[in-house]
Chains A and B, each alone.
Chain A
Amino acid sequence: MKKIQDFNIYANHRLNYETFILELKAPEKLPEIFPGQFAQLKINNHPQVFLRRPFSIHNVDYEKNTISFFIKIIGEGTRSLQKLNKKNSINVIYPLGNSFNLPKQNNVLLVGGGTGVAPLLLLSKSLKNNNISPVILIGGRSRNDILQIKEFEKYCKVLITTEDGTLGEKGLVTQHSVFQTDKFPFKKIYTCGPELMMKAIGKFAKKNNIECEVSLENTMACGFGACLCCVVETSKGNKCVCTEGPVFNIKYLKW
């Protein structure tokens, strides 16, 4: 069941010059939230921001009753979220969308680029709780862009690539040595990040017959299936990313 509630700001801290973690405290006991789901945040009193802004749920703490978001400053909406402090509250519609499907066996690879790591933390946690030890490959431009490593290390083995070679292997995520081996050891890939990256990973998975789920973005007005503004073309026709996604199995995408 979808909820609309006012949350208090629990914490808001910067990870680097353009990324921050926004942690919100729910007014009542949180419902169960599944990895891959997202929320629509309302931006208050900003003349240039009209619609809500969608963000993946990065982490959930059922004891503290908080949910957190991993957000990159892109424009006015994200900039004003970055300024929120403990005196503020924010209106949230959640949990929205479908979720990642848990794999049938071990040997799972997660691939995150940029803010694409956002939904992968909750996924890592949930995999770990299901006795699966995932490997995550995180890619970024430079070492300052590789974030939340300590958090991911709680649940995963972490591999890194940077374009300038300042951390991990040098190059794009898709050039990482895990993809170069003759016998790719993973049976399932989950990925989220820039579209070109996801497409490249998707292609690799298709070619090698590996299950692959991707989390997509789209232009959203409502976030809950009412406007039909957020479609992606699939082999079963146009599908709404906000209700039938954001997670899709690549075998249905026309990539």
Chain B
Amino acid sequence: MVDLKIKIQKLELKNPVMTASGTFGYGEEYTDFFDISKLGGIIVKGITIKPREGNPYPRMAETASGMLNAVGLQNKGVDYFIKNIYPEIKNYDTNIIVNINGSTIEEYIQVAEKINELDKIPAIELNISCPNVKEGGMAFGTSYQSAKAVTEAVRKAYYKTLIVKLSPNVTDITEIAKSVEGAGADSISLINTLLGMAIDAETRKPVLSTITGGLSGPAVKPIALRMVWQVYNSVKIPVIGLGGIMNTSDAIEFIIAGASAIQVGTANFIDPQITVKIIDGIEEYLNKHKIDSIRELVGALNV
């Protein structure tokens, strides 16, 4: 039996496969398709202090090997989550991780404090990289000073595992990664979506209501893989890799580049059972290569 267990500081995962925020709802959307407790973790849809209606239609455009989204963090707010959603999902035998968002540092702190009180939530993912909101979001993740400021502030308010999710829309990802490590992050996840755009040539209009949106899917994978490798080589805390993972081989590549765990996003839309296939695939890979533990593969790039 190969060992798929991995630790992200205090957070224990039964396997390195998690689902990316905003692509897996609150988990319940997938229970008809497979037993979601098989997952290493579920990162639920981004949550804010107040309810958000998100952006108007149209919010999605298919692109070559990917898609653009402009959802804009539609959610019913942290209090609704605690009262109505948390009780429904807290007993799944997997790590439920909350993706938190804000337009000011104060808002991030308020959400983090409330989530801190929930016994069955072992970690938060601080989203400083959402490209689809007017205020806050990605603005915090694109300068090392603001990334540091928000991470430090949330670190003081939150006592469990703090993952910070980085934006790829920066010149030097390692600079941001080092600053959030210095500010007390337990782990870094990357990448969020790349800022992109689609135009309808016939009408000369933008396809998305917000003009620009976030690109995800296999189109972004080479960029994500490169950034995971760069960050792995510049920080000591564990890295969680994502961006365009569609199958087992993609997942293994991220682990070899330095990811201790991976997240699957857009691929869930096309094959809602893809995560279990990847978990089985990783096990097969380890057997085939006679590797006892997934931990041996992290950062095992032959150069």
Query: Which residues of A approach B to under 8 Å, CB–CB?
Result: 1-4, 42, 47-48, 50-52, 93, 218-233, 237-238
Known: A1-B32, A226-B29. A93 touches B272 (CB 8 A): yes
Cβ of A184 to closest chain B Cβ, rounded Å: 31
- Check B62–A51 contact: CB distance below 8 A: yes
Q: Is the interface of B mostly helix, strand, loop or mixed?
A: loop
Cβ of B39 to closest chain A Cβ, rounded Å: 14
Closest residue on chain B to residue A51 by CB atoms: B62
How far apart sit A219 and B45, CA to CA, in the bound complex (Å)? Answer: 19
Interface flag for B222 (CB, 8 Å): no
- Check B65–A219 contact: CB distance below 8 A: no
Closest 8 CB pairs of A and B: A229-B60, A222-B269, A219-B60, A2-B32, A226-B25, A226-B29, A221-B269, A225-B29
- Check B57–A227 contact: CB distance below 8 A: no
Closest residue on chain A to residue B272 by CB atoms: A4
Cβ of A194 to closest chain B Cβ, rounded Å: 16
Cβ of A129 to closest chain B Cβ, rounded Å: 27
Cβ of B218 to closest chain A Cβ, rounded Å: 8
Interface flag for B232 (CB, 8 Å): no
Listed A/B pairs (13) with beta-carbon separation below 8 Å = A2-B33, A4-B272, A50-B64, A50-B65, A51-B62, A51-B270, A218-B57, A222-B23, A223-B269, A225-B25, A226-B272, A228-B54, A229-B71
Interface flag for B61 (CB, 8 Å): yes
**Which residue of B29, B32, B59 contacts A229 across the interface (Cβ within 8 Å)?**
B59
* B contact residues around A218 at 8 Å (CB): 57-58
Cβ of A195 to closest chain B Cβ, rounded Å: 11
Cβ of B92 to closest chain A Cβ, rounded Å: 16
- Check B25–A221 contact: CB distance below 8 A: no
Closest residue on chain A to residue B216 by CB atoms: A221
How far apart sit A17 and B223, CA to CA, in the bound complex (Å)? Answer: 43
**Which residue of A48, A52, A225, A238 contacts B270 across the interface (Cβ within 8 Å)?**
A52
Chain A CB within 10 Å, residue with most, of B56, B71, B217: B71
- Check A233–B56 contact: CB distance below 8 A: yes
- Check B29–A232 contact: CB distance below 8 A: no
**Which residue of B24, B29, B58, B64 contacts A48 across the interface (Cβ within 8 Å)?**
B64
**Which residue of A224, A226, A231 contacts B57 across the interface (Cβ within 8 Å)?**
A231
**Which residue of A42, A52, A221, A237 contacts B60 across the interface (Cβ within 8 Å)?**
A221
Closest residue on chain A to residue B25 by CB atoms: A226
Known: A50-B270, A231-B74. A219 touches B58 (CB 8 A): yes
**Which residue of A1, A221, A232 contacts B69 across the interface (Cβ within 8 Å)?**
A221
How far apart sit A224 and B67, CA to CA, in the bound complex (Å)? Answer: 17
Interface flag for B30 (CB, 8 Å): yes
Q: Is the interface of A mostly helix, strand, loop or mixed?
A: loop
- Check B269–A237 contact: CB distance below 8 A: no
What 1/0 mask marks residues of chain B from 159 to 178 whose CB sits below 8 Å from any chain A CB?
Answer: 00000000000000000000
Closest residue on chain B to residue A91 by CB atoms: B271
- Check B69–A229 contact: CB distance below 8 A: yes
Interface flag for B122 (CB, 8 Å): no
- Check B60–A230 contact: CB distance below 8 A: yes
Chain B CB within 10 Å, residue with most, of A42, A93, A221, A238: A221
**Which residue of A48, A219, A221, A237 contacts B53 across the interface (Cβ within 8 Å)?**
A237
Cβ of B186 to closest chain A Cβ, rounded Å: 27
* A contact residues around B187 at 8 Å (CB): none
Interface flag for B299 (CB, 8 Å): no
Interface flag for B37 (CB, 8 Å): no
Interface flag for B281 (CB, 8 Å): no
- Check A52–B57 contact: CB distance below 8 A: no
Interface flag for B273 (CB, 8 Å): yes
- Check A3–B23 contact: CB distance below 8 A: no
Beta-carbon contacts under 8 Å, B175-211 to A: none
How far apart sit A232 and B69, CA to CA, in the bound complex (Å)? Answer: 15
Closest residue on chain A to residue B72 by CB atoms: A228
Chain A CB within 10 Å, residue with most, of B69, B269, B271: B269
- Check A50–B273 contact: CB distance below 8 A: no
Known: A50-B65, A50-B217, A238-B54. A226 touches B60 (CB 8 A): no
- Check B217–A3 contact: CB distance below 8 A: no
- Check A231–B54 contact: CB distance below 8 A: yes
Beta-carbon contacts under 8 Å, B83-109 to A: none
- Check A222–B69 contact: CB distance below 8 A: no
How far apart sit A222 and B57, CA to CA, in the bound complex (Å)? Answer: 16
* A contact residues around B69 at 8 Å (CB): 221, 227, 229
How far apart sit A231 and B60, CA to CA, in the bound complex (Å)? Answer: 10
